[in-house]
Amino acid sequence: MGSAASVKSSTGDTSTLHWEFLQSNKVRPTAPTLTQDVIGVDIQGKGTLRICMFEDRINICKYYDARTGLWLPMPLNWEMKIDFVRHRIQQVIKALPGLVDQKEIAAALRQCNYDPDEVISIYLTIFGDILSEPHKPTHSYPDSNSFRTHSEKERVIEELQKKLQSKEKEAEDVLQKNSSLSQESQHLSDVVQNLTSRVVKLEADKRVAKEKLRSLLSHPIDPNAKANLTVSVNPQHLQQVRGLTQGLRLSSKKLRSMVYDTLADMQKQLQQFRAETQLMIQRHQQEHRAVQELQALYHKEASERRALHNKLLELQGKIRVFCRCGRQSDSAGSTGCLEVPLDQELLLLQKGGKRKFIFDKVFSSNASQKQVYEEILPMITSCLDGYNVCILSYGQSGSGKSYTMMGLKDNPGINIRSVTELLRLCKERENYTYMIKISVLEIYVESLIDLLSENRQTEVEIRGQGRSVTVPTLTQVEVKTEEDILNIMEMVGRNSHLHSNEANAESSCSHVLLFVTVECTDPVSGVSTRGVLTLCELAGSERISKTQATGQRLTETAAINKSLMVLGQVFGALRSNSLHVPFRNSKLTHVLQPCLSGDAKMCVIVHVSPDVEDAAETLNTLTFGTSIRQITLGKPPQNRTQIKTTKAEK
């Protein structure tokens, strides 16, 4: 097949370019032939892919070069100006509005024998329906395919880790050398001290000898005594004493000279040692700064990688699961059974060894309320944009669920911090109209109780149609200040059911769900959004034998365990993509049905106890948390509507 087109080249010349294909589109190409062994390539978001090169017959677009008299392959920019190719590019863009790179489309058309349907099919197979959404400045094409850069960032992180290990090894070598020089300096100091003590001793002996000589010279000698003395002194003995005295003087001079030389040499060595030590300190400081820069760069790369990973999880609709370790018991003989080696890894110590669990984030027992809140802050603030968000607190009794959600008066939890932050953001956006309303629902022994109603004896009802579930008679209170929030939380704590048992001094015997509805209206564009933040604090799972419950407490414990069991069955059905999900088997799962059906961003915080006595419950909680990380609920929709303007407004 051949044709001709008039195309203006990059040099400005306009000439008639003849283009043709080596093979007609009507002739089916032969099967591709394998030309290279199959290899494996790691692609972030896809895993390890099997890659191989095939020899295949394809159509090639060429133009006739009058200067050389040859048919040459057309450059990609020239080829995109041909109506035949441009028409197919527009077909692909129309089908995939999220794919905006026309050069990438043209290259894909070359590989697919200029078949736009095959290009569309391939991109949908690789990237899914995300390319079907129109391109927006706030949602750029690179963000939609951000996992393409994951492998590059992983390689950079590995290089930084190797360089960091090398610098740490050099620092260890410098410290060892510094220690060796310090030992040598100490040895030389001991030698100098020994020589100095010897000099001091000789000086003392010298002073004693001088005193004796002075004493002898100060007493006059009687001539008779001198005669007698001269007669009694042995000249040979006197000569021997004189020789010994001269030898002692010579030895003293030699020793003094040796001490001076040794001190001078040691002073020189000490100065050299100080210079080398100063140089080593400077090198160590430089290497320490380099290590700090590498660590900062490593943390930055890891943070960017984690942000991309969270973006991908949000696009896929994955349930994010965090784990928070409670504080160890103060009882005598209590030991810990948990270790947190990494911020996404938890080790459970058992008799047979250690068992590893992976979560999206692990908070140690030293983590603050602020650290936990900041990790889920981006999800919470998305309510202002019309998204539904659900934060679920799960764990055994006494593991810290109430502390995480409610907190203390001087150290509030997620509930108060979330509403306070939403109020602050609403005040910053002065051009928008906001309304924040709060309602609180308690599920006690499969009964729904409105905690903000004056008449708490009246049970509210659930109304559902399809995936939509509402509690129409639930009291809603508008909040405008932080004082309103504190008053509501105080009322909730006063009206909710609490009791003490053998396992916990103050244990909740009901599930408490806090609904924060944020309605936003843009007067200029007429766009209205509505987001609901669901903060759910589940009652603790308790063994009846451990709590020693009887009577009404036994009924409460049985109801709690049943609802948590149904919740586990719902998660199991979602994980296995079962056609039937038993939402209606419990009031808890029935109320949470919209959140568990893909209408909300979902985050579950599992709480565990580090005490060995609670190892069995801790294992059950960790197993539950890791199992729901595999669930994909789908990308949540944005609750956004266009308000119709009246004629008067027009």
Known binding site for ATP: residues?
395-402
| Rounded Cα gap, residues 349 and 622, in angstroms | 13
CB half-sphere exposure, 489, CA atoms < 13 A:
22
| Rounded Cα gap, residues 167 and 291, in angstroms | 7
Residues 6+ away with beta carbon under 8 Å from 278: none
**SS3 of residue 169 by DSSP:** helix
Q: Return the axis-axis angle of helices 83-95 and 116-127, rounded to nearest 10°.
A: 30
| Rounded Cα gap, residues 472 and 109, in angstroms | 55
Q: Kindly list the distances between the CA atom of residue 222 and the CA atoms of 211, 228, 271, in Å, as whole numbers in the listed order.
A: 21, 10, 60
What single string gives the DSSP state of each residue in 80-132?
Answer: TTSHHHHHHHHHHHHH-TT---HHHHHHHHHHTTT-HHHHHHHHHHHHGGGGG
| Rounded Cα gap, residues 518 and 436, in angstroms | 5
Q: What is the DSSP letter of 612?
A: G
- Among residues 368, 643, 410, 415, the alpha carbon closest in space to that of 530 is found at 643
Binding residues: 395-402
- Among residues 586, 591, 600, 584, the alpha carbon closest in space to that of 635 is found at 600
Residues 6+ away with beta carbon under 8 Å from 267: none
Q: Which residues of 327-342 are buried (b: 16+ CB within 10 A; e: fewer)?
A: ebbeeeeeeebbebee
Cα-to-chain-centroid distance, residue 644: 44
Compute φ and ψ for 380, nearest 5 degrees: -65, -45
Contact by Cβ (8 Å): 389, 633: no
| Rounded Cα gap, residues 228 and 223, in angstroms | 8
Beta bridge pairs of residue 142: none
- Among residues 103, 95, 80, 89, the alpha carbon closest in space to that of 19 is found at 80
C-alpha dihedral, 126 to 127 to 128 to 134, nearest 10°: -140
For 546-550, the CB contacts below 8 A with 24+ separation are 546/502, 546/503, 547/397, 547/501, 547/502, 547/503, 548/501, 548/502, 549/501
| Rounded Cα gap, residues 501 and 117, in angstroms | 67
Q: Residue 520: in which H helix or E strand, if any? A: strand 511-522
